[in-house]
Structure 1
């Protein structure tokens, strides 16, 4: 049976790439019964009725999967956050980072629209960028208008499946258009009344850029920690996981426990206060969420 990779999912069809050929497939009914949804990025077995149409019959084991955005077997996530329009949000960025870390996907932070900043605004964003780099994250300052800012992103895409994700309106599609102009992905302006962008990407699709594959995904502005457990949360903050090894009590969750090395590090400004504040927020959110049945 032939095999391939799902490159696009749209209106109930899965577009499977097998070497240089794209086969338009539907999923077998058994997937619905098993409550399994084929995802872009899946390695699949398919049965072709002719050169152009077929059915996905089997989904190979996944390395990982995301549901928002819906994509599987991701090597890294390029988290695109604008420096302005909409305003840079460490809270939303940390939500994305926690989601990515929880799926063991390597994140790359890309701060877009840097060309629109004043000198004072640039210094403020640069301070955040340096702090995230201090934690161990890769941070790229970019603009769709800066050729050098975009070429610095290219080496990180080579040979990998990367998902571009972030708040809507931050310039994901503009950056992809600049990296590969023939894509001609639709972009739109920021809504002045809402302060956020309109959703311009309507489906998930993998595009070839260099030797890598990149997923342009629908933008969204909210994330829920529906699958993450409290015990997993500290490991999704690298600096908290690092200092947590020095806590007096094993299994310290860094909230109310005595002799907590993490809280001490926050007091001594070794961990940014806003990062710990977000950790507390996410902890409370997970702790008070409704049970899943």
Structure 2
């Protein structure tokens, strides 16, 4: 049986890329029975008489999956955040980073709209960028208008399945259009009434970009930590995790424990204080979460 990768899911059809062809498939009833829903990014076994009448027979094991947006087998997430319009938010970025780290997806931080920043805003964004670089992240400063940083992003996409994700209005589609003008993805301006972007991406689709595949997704509709436990959070902050190896007590949550290396690093400025504040906020959020039955 032939095998391929689902590159688009729309209106009950799955578009499978195999041997340089795209075959339109439906899922067999066995998936509904077993509560398995094929996702974009899935490696599948299928059968087809022609390119319009195929059926997916088997979904291969996934290395990871995201529920919202619904996509599987992601290598990395390009977290797109604007410098302004909407304003850059470290709290929201850290929330995205935690969700991505928990799903074992490599994050790359891409800050857009640098051409719109004032001198003071530009300096502030550069300061944040250096903080996140010291925390172990790749950070790129870009502009879809001036094409600043666009060439630097290309090598990171090579041979990878990448998700472009971020809050509405930050310029995900504009960034993809700058990377490949042939895409001509629809973009909308910021809503002046709401002060936030309008959703312009309606479905998940993998798009060929050089030797890689990228997905312009509708964005994370849920940013809650429903699956993450308190003991997991430490590992979702790589900078805090690295420093925690020096804590006196194993399993230190870095809140009230004595001789905590993380708290000491905050006091000396070795770790950004705002990252630690977000860590504490998220920890409390998980602690206050209602138990599931």
- TM, length-normalised to structure 1: 0.97
Aligned residues: 293
Asked if structure 1 preserves the Cα contact closer than 8 Å seen for 2:68 and 2:219, the reply is no
What's the secondary structure of 2:208's corresponding residue? Answer: strand
The answer to whether structure 1 residue 133 and structure 2 residue 136 are counterparts is no
**2:175 matched to which residue of 1?**
175
Q: Distance in 2 between matches of 1:12 and 1:292?
A: 31
Alpha-carbon distance in structure 2 between the residues aligned to 1:292 and 1:2: 41
Q: C-alpha offsets along residues 11-53 of structure 1, whole Å, 9 cap, x if unaligned?
A: 1111101111111111122222222221111000112143322
Mapped contact 1:14–1:24 kept (Cα < 8 A) = yes
Match of 1:251 in 2: 251
Deviations 1:30-87 (A, max 9, x none): 2222222211110001121433221111100111111122111111110000000011
The answer (yes or no) to whether the contact 1:81–1:170 under 8 Å persists in 2 is yes
| TM-score, normalised by the number of residues in structure 2 | 0.97
Match of 1:202 in 2: 202
Post-superposition shift, 1:193?
2.0
Cα displacement (A) at 1:291: 1.5
How big is the alpha-carbon RMSD for the aligned residues of Structure 1 and Structure 2?
1.1
Once the two structures are TM-superposed, the CA of residue 226 in structure 1 deviates from its matched residue by 0.8
**Which 4+ runs in 1 deviate beyond 3 A?**
none
| Structure-2 residue corresponding to 1:240 | 240
The answer for the alignment partner of 2:71 in structure 1 is 71
CA-to-partner distance for each residue in 1:108-132, whole Å, 9 max, x for gaps? 1000000000101100111101100
1:11 and 2:27 matched = no
The whole-number CA distance in structure 1 between the counterparts of 2:109 and 2:51 is 41
Listed one character per residue, the Cα deviations across residues 136-164 of structure 1 (whole Å, up to 9, x for unaligned) are 10000001023341111001000111110
**How far does residue 213 in structure 1 lie from its aligned partner after superposition?**
0.5
Q: State the shift of 1:199 in Å.
A: 0.4
- Give the gaps of 5 or more residues in structure 1: none
> Matched residue of 2:149: which SS?
helix
- Give the match's secondary structure for 1:250: coil
Matched, 1:21 2:45: no
CA contact (8 A) 1:203 1:218 kept: yes
Counterpart of 1:95? Answer: 95
2:265 alignment counterpart: 265
1:52 is paired with a residue whose SS is coil
> What are structure 2's unaligned runs of at least 5 residues?
none
SS, match of residue 147 in structure 1: coil
Q: Matched residues in 1 for 2:36 and 2:47: separation?
A: 18
